[in-house]
Amino acid sequence: MRYPNGKKFEGSLDQDKAKSNRQKIQFGHRGMRLENMLNQSNQWYLNRGLAVIHKKPTPIQVVKVDYPNRARAKITEAYYRQASTTDYNGIYKGWYVDFEAKQSNRMKSFPLNNIKAHQVKHMTACSQAGGLSFVIFWFSKRQEAYLYPIEALQEDWQAYQAKERSSIPFQRIEDYAYPIALKYQPYLDYLPLLDQYITDYGKCH
């Protein structure tokens, strides 16, 4: 792994162990959506008092409501609006956490058009305000998950806006991201990586 400034990571992450752990249990995760894995993991963290992180509800635009009587209103037509920020937020050890979850069936890259400008803007603002912002990528064909810091994504987004890059190469994700261990409980054990992220990027309250 490398930091956005190009410096090679020399920390204590045991990537070989994480990969071995993936191989042992990936069969149980095959076909499971990223959202389901994250929701299960967040509930596991919540039950043990480790963190309070929830999926943000998707805004709904109500189009038509029937009123059979004063006490009963029934929505008969509505549609989902585009989410205004990111998928998940919460608190971990006093840190505000805000992140987006993205799933792809590609093997060699992640398309940047699957990330919206308002999401990058929101995560950047959260990071600048002292929070922890990142993207969790799930590569379904590889059965691998990664925590990708906003600091790295900002560089990708600048290149995307300059039409220099249309996707994030998988090699770059391997270099800059933290591999997430896949387990039985929790499915995606990303919480310990936040401590490493805080240390590596010199985060402070």
pLDDT at 27 over 50: no
Q: Is 121 domain-assigned?
A: yes
Distance in angstroms (rounded) separating the CA atoms of residues 139 and 168: 13
Tell me how many domains the chain contains.
Answer: 1
Q: Residue 78 belongs to what domain range?
A: 15-200
Report how far apart, in Å, the C-alpha atoms of 163 and of each of 122, 171, 192 are: 21, 20, 35
Q: CB count, 10 Å around CB of 178?
A: 25
Q: Is 7 domain-assigned?
A: no
pLDDT band at 3 (very low <50, low <70, confident <90, very high): low
pLDDT at 45 over 70: yes
Q: Is 6 domain-assigned?
A: no
Read off the pLDDT of residues 109-139 as tens digits, 9 standing for 90 and up. 999 999 999 999 999 999 999 999 999 999 9
Binding-site residues for Mg(2+), in ranges, read 85, 87, 100, 119
Q: Is 3 domain-assigned?
A: no
Average pLDDT, the chain: 86
Distance in angstroms (rounded) separating the CA atoms of residues 204 and 190: 20
Q: Is 87 domain-assigned?
A: yes
Q: Is 4 domain-assigned?
A: no
**3-class DSSP state of 113:** helix
Binding-site residues, in ranges, read 85, 87, 100, 119
Give pLDDT, residue 6.
Answer: 58
Q: Is 205 domain-assigned?
A: no
Q: Is 111 domain-assigned?
A: yes
List the CATH number of the domain containing 76: 3.40.1350.10
Read off the pLDDT of residues 67-97 as tens digits, 9 standing for 90 and up. 777 677 777 776 656 666 899 999 999 999 9
